[in-house]
Structure 1
Amino acid sequence: MVMDNVMCFRSEEFAEFCANYGIIMSYSSPYHPRGNGQAESSNRSLLNIIKKILEENKRFWDQKLRLALWADRVTIKKAISTSPFELVYGVKARLPVNNLLPVYNFLQIEGLEMSKPMEERMIQLVEMKEMRTVAHKRNMKLQLQSKYLFDKMNV
């Protein structure tokens, strides 16, 4: 979780809470205000997802945090035109229900040989590199636009 440098996020109690739930804490630099804005935007998205998941019973938000993180990671982001999951792993996310089908049955149904999936994975890796390059360029363009607007407002 990326946080800004507010003192409440630096307390021992909060660090212990994060450790108990497997949350990795990262802090944005005070010298990069865009980073703070990105952290707040991401946190706002997570909060909206948690609200939608919980609806009636809001007491168990901590139990739904992992689901919210998963939903956020597989959601396509406007800035990069893909999901963070897809950028990291090079494939679209599959729901756990999709993994119930054993690999052997899948290969038989699709009529694939063992060398074919390996060949397809190599193609996916090449496409993944291209996709990351395009996403990086889009992200840089968006950051320049954000910087321009930020600088324009603060002149």
Structure 2
Amino acid sequence: MLKYEVTHRLSTAYHPQTSGQVEVSNRGLKRILERTVGENRASWSDKLDDALWAFRTAYKTPIGCTPYKLVYGKACHLPIELEHKAYWALKHANFDLKTAGDQRKVQLNELSELRDQAYENSLIYKEKTKRIHDAKIKNRVFNVGDQVLLFNSRLKIFSGKLKSRWSGPFTIVQVFPYGTIELS
């Protein structure tokens, strides 16, 4: 953690949604490391720089671009690409100061627009995912006296993998508005 200047902070275990983006990023990094680290898994820290580079330069569907492009406002160029474009790079580096300043202002405006577009893309992606999820939810109508099973969604926190998450049967005593049900 000292090497990469990471401050370790604990998030609430019962609210993983509070760090959803971090969890998604970590899962992507873990997947890259699993593929690149060989039999000796102790060498993962040697491959971390390469894994981070791969993650930052990979296209992300929710934002519609790469994280690298969001930070720097342009696609990344590998050293071999720059070698072939040396003349192009020299030409762009040798602007006079007024032209370079104007060019930089344009680039900063483009970067701001790019980030706004990524934010909008992210919202659209989330709404689309929510629509797909909500379409799969079946609307159930429960009546007093029905026999039902209760699903324990917190079981993963407390006990083993092979224990059933369903308990019951229970009888419905009262049905409240907005889906709340009293069981006995």
Q: Could you say whether these structures have the same fold, taking a TM-score greater than 0.5 normalized by the shorter chain as the test?
A: yes
Distance 1:84 1:20 in 2: 22
Indicate the percent of aligned positions where both proteins have the same amino acid: 30
Q: 1:142 to 1:33 in 2, by over 3 A?
A: same
Tell me how far 1:142 sits from its aligned partner: 1.9
Post-superposition shift, 1:139?
0.7
Greater Cα radius of gyration, structure 1 or 2: 2
Segments of 5+ residues of structure 2 without an aligned counterpart are 140-184
Alignment of 1:136-155 (within 5 A): 136-149=119-132
Aligned with residue 29 of structure 2, among 46, 50, 55: 46
Decide which structure has greater helix share: 1
Q: Decide which moves more: 49-58 or 128-137.
A: 49-58
What's 1:131 paired with? 114
Change (3 A) 1:83 1:32: same
TM-score, length basis structure 1: 0.63
Say which is worse superposed, 18-27 or 115-124, in terms of deviation: 18-27
TM-score, normalization: structure 2?
Answer: 0.55
In 2, the alpha carbon distance for the partners of 1:27 and 1:74 equals: 28
Match of 2:76 among 87, 93, 97: 93
Q: 2:95 aligns with which of 94, 99, 113?
A: 113
User: 1:78: which partner in 2?
Assistant: 61
CA apart distance, 1:122: 2.0
| Number of the residue aligned with 1:33 | 17
Letter in 2 for 1:127: E
Q: Distance in 1 between matches of 2:68 and 2:7?
A: 17
What CA deviation, in whole Å up to 9, does each residue of 1:81-132 have, x standing for no partner? 111122122232333556779x99943x459532433332222211111111
Gaps (5+ residues) in structure 1? 1-17
1:58 aligns with 2:41: yes
Aligned residue pairs, count: 135
